[in-house]
Amino acid sequence: MRINKISGLTLLGAIAWFAGAVHTYAICPVCTVAVGAGLGLSRWLGISDTVIGVWVGAFLFSVSMWTINWLRSKNRSFKGIIPAVFVFYYALTIIPLYFTGIMGHPFNKFLGMDKLLFGTIVGSLVFMAAAWGYEVIKRKNGGKAWFPFQKVAMPVGFTLIASLVMYFMDK
């Protein structure tokens, strides 16, 4: 089993896009735990790999940003930290999935791409957009959130919505 060229190029393009981010936004540990719990629950319930991929992508994006912010707080920042952390976490997840046969199966495709990989890209983009949206709202509201725990609710809520969309698209 092997990832086709389009899937590989899409993955590399997504990683490059994430790595090109100039400004980083703090992602809280609660978001990371919530996304991880959603991932475990999805797999246990036998939900489609596209939906699970959404949670994998959200989790990987969250953990990557959390690690970057943690490294910076410890004065361990270096040029290229963003791409290094993203490549590390995404590769650490995707490569074992590929070699164990969970990812890359020829009959597990959605829109011509592996379902888990497709969902991972969607989840990463949705989580990133929600975190960015929270920062925009906060900035426009004088540095304050609209409601308590909005920083958690927005990324997790949008990831949940993306999961529902992927669930119905993959039927």
Q: Tens digit of pLDDT per residue, the chain (171 long)?
A: 444 555 555 555 555 555 554 444 445 566 556 655 766 677 688 888 899 899 899 989 999 998 998 998 999 888 899 999 999 999 988 888 888 777 888 888 888 899 989 999 999 999 999 999 998 999 998 988 888 888 889 999 999 999 999 999 987
Q: How far apart are CA 52 and CA 123, in angstroms?
A: 9
> Which residue, 35, 133, 47, 45, is CA-closest to 93?
35
pTM reported for the whole predicted model: 0.74
Q: Helix or strand or coil: residue 88?
A: helix
Q: What confidence score (pLDDT) does residue 165 get?
A: 94
Q: How far apart are CA 13 and CA 7, in angstroms?
A: 10
Residue 129 main-chain phi, psi, to 5 deg: -65, -40
Q: What confidence score (pLDDT) does residue 123 get?
A: 95
What DSSP character marks residue 105?
A: -
Q: Helix or strand or coil: residue 70?
A: helix
Q: How far apart are CA 171 and CA 129, in angstroms?
A: 25
Q: Collect all residues with Cβ–Cβ distance below 8 Å to 74 and sequence separation of at least 6.
A: none
Instruction: Return the domain boundaries, the chain.
Output: 28-169
Q: Which two tokens stand for residue 2?
A: 């092997």
